[in-house]
A and B are shown apart, each in its own frame.
Chain A
Amino acid sequence: DTEVTQTPKHLVMGMTNKKSLKCEQHMGHRAMYWYKQKAKKPPELMFVYSYEKLSINESVPSRFSPECPNSSLLNLHLHALQPEDSALYLCASSQVSRGHQPQHFGDGTRLSIL
């Protein structure tokens, strides 16, 4: 079992739907991350939150909207997605957003866009 919990595990949505992915950690970490992972590829960084503030946005389309309500929670709001957005979305956390800190991943949300 991982210490980073993601819900839902699976999500199927149409291109006009609005949905949200949720991530929660109770390790006291102050940095949280969203990654996108395609099959047989490494995770690709999307967003980094440090102390609840967005510190990195890797040129992600605006149809993905992150939110960090508090230090334990991270959301990813989805709207008007495209079929190529189908992927595994991973959340991770670390003590602080410094490169020498290990990141702990959740098991992801498998997203399918119809």
Chain B
Amino acid sequence: GENVEQHPSTLSVQEGDSAVIKCTYSDSASNYFPWYKQELGKGPQLIIDIRSNVGEKKDQRIAVTLNKTAKHFSLHITETQPEDSAVYFCAASYTTGNQFYFGTGTSLTVIP
């Protein structure tokens, strides 16, 4: 089955700096990669996703890049703000499957 690794497990950045979280996957059949943000006391919220026919996707301060050859994808958050502090999970899945394989999570702290 698919195995998703996520690094780092914790990340602290100063407000206004950029944050990068990286994930690798093992199954070359995986073709859908969502990112979730989970705030304390809340459920995971989808913040951005990318499909394997695209190399990069941006949404305001958030971007995701995908390298299919190396089987890794990354989340980039620019101009970080304190409200970006949360746990972030990456995931991988494939079209004919029906479940997500989650990474282990990254706890991001943005220091004001």
Q: For chain A, which range describes its interface: under 10, 10 to 19, 20 to 34, or 35 or more residues?
A: 20 to 34
For A90, the chain B residues whose CB sits under 8 A away are: 43-44
Q: Smallest CB–CB gap between A37 and chain B, Å?
A: 9
Cβ A105 vs Cβ B104 within 8 A: no
Q: Mark B72-112, 1 if CB is under 8 A from A, else 0.
A: 00000000000000010100011111111011110100000
Q: A48-B99, A56-B99, A90-B43 are in contact. Are A41 and B94 (CB under 8 A)?
A: no
Q: Smallest CB–CB gap between A74 and chain B, Å?
A: 14
CB-nearest residue of chain A relative to B9? A40
Number of A-B contacts (CB under 8 A): 68
Cβ B102 vs Cβ A43 within 8 A: yes
For A100, the chain B residues whose CB sits under 8 A away are: 31-32, 51, 93-95
For A31, the chain B residues whose CB sits under 8 A away are: 98
A39-63: which have CB < 8 Å to B? 40-43, 45, 48, 50, 55-56
Cβ B43 vs Cβ A2 within 8 A: yes
Q: Smallest CB–CB gap between A100 and chain B, Å?
A: 4
Interface of B is mostly: loop
Cβ B49 vs Cβ A99 within 8 A: no
Any A CB within 8 A of the CB of B42: yes
CB-nearest residue of chain B relative to A105? B43
Cβ A102 vs Cβ B44 within 8 A: no
Any B CB within 8 A of the CB of A97: yes
Cβ B96 vs Cβ A107 within 8 A: no
Q: A40-B105, A41-B105, A42-B89 are in contact. Are A48 and B98 (CB under 8 A)?
A: yes
CB-nearest residue of chain B relative to A45? B99
Q: Mark A84-106, 1 if CB is under 8 A from B, else 0.
A: 00000010100001111111111
The 10 closest A-B pairs by CB, nearest first: A99-B93, A42-B102, A105-B43, A99-B97, A97-B98, A100-B32, A107-B43, A100-B95, A105-B44, A99-B94
A residues touching B (Cβ–Cβ < 8 Å)? 2, 4, 6, 31, 40-43, 45, 48, 50, 55-56, 90, 92, 97-108
